[in-house]
Structure 1
Amino acid sequence: MGAIAASLARVDAGVSWLRVLAAAPDDRSGWVRCSDLLADPLRLVDWQVEVADAYGGGDDNGRLTGAGLVLDWYLGAVTLPAAGIFHLDRRVPSLSPDTMLLRLGPGGTVVAVALESSAFRCLVDDPATDEAALVAADLGELATGLRTEVVEHAERLLAAYAPTTRIGRHGRWGAVADALDVAFLTGGWVSGDRARAAADARLVLGDGVGHLVGGSTLHEIVDDNGNWHWTRRRYSCCFVYRAPVGAVCVTCPRVSDEQRRHQATGWL
């Protein structure tokens, strides 16, 4: 097993809601190559409609819930492997849409992602430097590499996505920053070191570099029982609150700090 495949396997073993694979299986049923999806915006529209129907009962005004969730799920599948590997192994995989595939499940959810390219970046002291396409001199340079991979993929995604939705530019790029934050927090759950994962998120997001709308919002809160939890505040909106059975999520900027602490009381 190559270095990047081994890193992907570590991420895959730590999450239950998304399979993270180094290659798609021979049976490609339900799989779509990212570049093929982005080349046909009508497929993005069909995906939004499927999700809108699943969450909005066919009455999702403007498909905003569908558009918001599809954007979140797509970006989550791209950023989770990348941020997870960065956090766990200090490596950065290639995120080219040409070498990434998604598998869609019931209701349009993303249930698996495959990264076919074995190319990656790593630090100079990584034992797998002989396999790496690029070697970074320090962690800051590696973080820049991760940010570049994510932004370049996001540029292609959002260029295709913009004509299909009423979500504005700030909201679309806000979703990219949000996805990175979630991915790092997930990496922290896998490693058991959420404080270091939050530090990684701050390093990669900076103060909002280039298209990214802001820095990491990961922070700790204390609930009504005095227990501490990691959470965040979104830049973008998933629009789930618009669905008939929807509610404002705890990360929504509409939620006050007091409400957030109260909601966290029921968390594990």
Structure 2
Amino acid sequence: MTVPTKVTARDARSPVADTLAGVAHAAGTFEVRHGLPEQRDGWVTSAELFTEPDRFTAWRDLLADWLRAEYGSAPERTTAGYVMGWYLNVVGLAGGLLFHAARRVPSLRPDDVAVRIAGTGRPHLVGVALLAEGFACLAEDPASDHADATVVGCERALADLMRARFAAHAAAFVSAYGPTVRLGRRTLWAGATDALDSAAWTAGRLLGDETSGVADAALLLPAKLEPFTSATTLRTVDGEWTRRRESCCFHYVLPGAQECVTCPRVR
């Protein structure tokens, strides 16, 4: 799932905010920001979603209404798969942008991440915010002596930390979201694997260096590492980078729809 990005410039009071402002040229329809706006219309923290999982059900109900209007049907599997993919992909992108652009890893604790659901039309995510000032970086980072910085020893250790922080966030998501849907644990972790594998790749494409993004994806998923379901699946087909998805969005069960070209059902 490709997520376009638009970064809202904000007073760069921290290196995390500064990095986000620095990738503002990757403009699009999706907002990535540091901190929440004064008006929180549509914004919800991950912690709020996880502690009140009925919010996920309400979100899926909005999606079901939209799907029925567009397709005449709203299969439960489809609403579950869409919301899973939307959520995990934008959290992955938030981390992937900082890792790819600046070799920085932000906090991805549920209290430190917020997402924004579209208020009209299709209720997809239209924004993600990082809320914490702290970050991990390499010794050569110009902000390595900042009070909010934690220095790690090498690039691979930084990638390991990014993977671990995303895994911890995904585990909290699986625990909260899993009981509200009829998706197995393996499917949920497959969705998390897709999100992590796409994170740096998408960041690379948005910032003009797809090949570097692919290399970063290999750093983040060099092998099948628990709890993820595979190593990176990025590969070239006819000279273009693509990947084999681990999870299914169940779009194909909508009337008149077909499997996506990267769907695991068409391997």
Specify if TM > 0.5: yes
- DSSP 3-state at the match of 1:202: helix
1:86 aligns with 2:99: yes
User: How many pairs are equivalent?
Assistant: 250
Structure 2 unaligned runs (5+)?
A: 1-11
- DSSP 3-state at the match of 1:32: strand
Partner of residue 20, structure 2: 8
- DSSP 3-state at the match of 1:102: strand
- Measure how far apart 1:253 and its partner are: 2.2
- Measure how far apart 1:185 and its partner are: 1.9
1:233 aligns with 2:244: yes
Contact 2:67–2:73 (8 Å) recurs in 1? no
Partner of residue 124, structure 1: 139
1:76 aligns with 2:89: yes
Partner of residue 65, structure 1: 78
1:250 aligns with 2:265: no
Contact 1:56–1:243 (8 Å) recurs in 2? no
- Measure how far apart 1:53 and its partner are: 2.6
Matches within 5 A, 1:1-268: 1=12, 2-57=14-69, 59-61=73-75, 63-105=76-118, 106=120, 107-131=122-146, 132-222=148-238, 228-255=239-266
Contact 2:197–2:220 (8 Å) recurs in 1? no
- Partners of 1:244 and 1:185 lie apart in 2 by 32
- Partners of 1:207 and 1:59 lie apart in 2 by 39
Q: Which has the higher helix share?
A: 1
Provide Cα deviations, 1:193-225, integer angstroms capped at 9, x if missing partner.
222211111111121212111111111110xxx
Provide Cα deviations, 1:146-174, integer angstroms capped at 9, x if missing partner.
01110111111110011111111111001
- Measure how far apart 1:56 and its partner are: 4.3
Partner of residue 5, structure 2: none
Contact 2:26–2:206 (8 Å) recurs in 1? yes
Q: Structure 1 vs Structure 2: percent identity of aligned residues?
A: 39
Provide Cα deviations, 1:31-64, integer angstroms capped at 9, x if missing partner.
1111011111111111112213323446323x11
Provide Cα deviations, 1:72-104, integer angstroms capped at 9, x if missing partner.
111111110111111111110111111211111
- Partners of 1:175 and 1:17 lie apart in 2 by 23
Contact 2:143–2:149 (8 Å) recurs in 1? no
- DSSP 3-state at the match of 2:25: helix
- Measure how far apart 1:6 and its partner are: 1.6
- Measure how far apart 1:243 and its partner are: 1.7
- Letter in structure 1 aligned against 2:109: S
- Partners of 2:23 and 2:202 lie apart in 1 by 9
- The two structures have a TM-score, normalised by structure 2, of 0.89
Contact 2:34–2:129 (8 Å) recurs in 1? yes
- Measure how far apart 1:11 and its partner are: 4.0
Contact 1:12–1:21 (8 Å) recurs in 2? no
Q: Point out the more displaced range, 5-14 or 187-196.
A: 5-14
- DSSP 3-state at the match of 1:122: strand
- Measure how far apart 1:125 and its partner are: 0.4
- Partners of 2:259 and 2:23 lie apart in 1 by 29
What is the root-mean-square deviation in Å for CA atoms of aligned residues? 1.6
- The two structures have a TM-score, normalised by structure 1, of 0.88
Structure 1 unaligned runs (5+)?
A: 223-227, 257-268
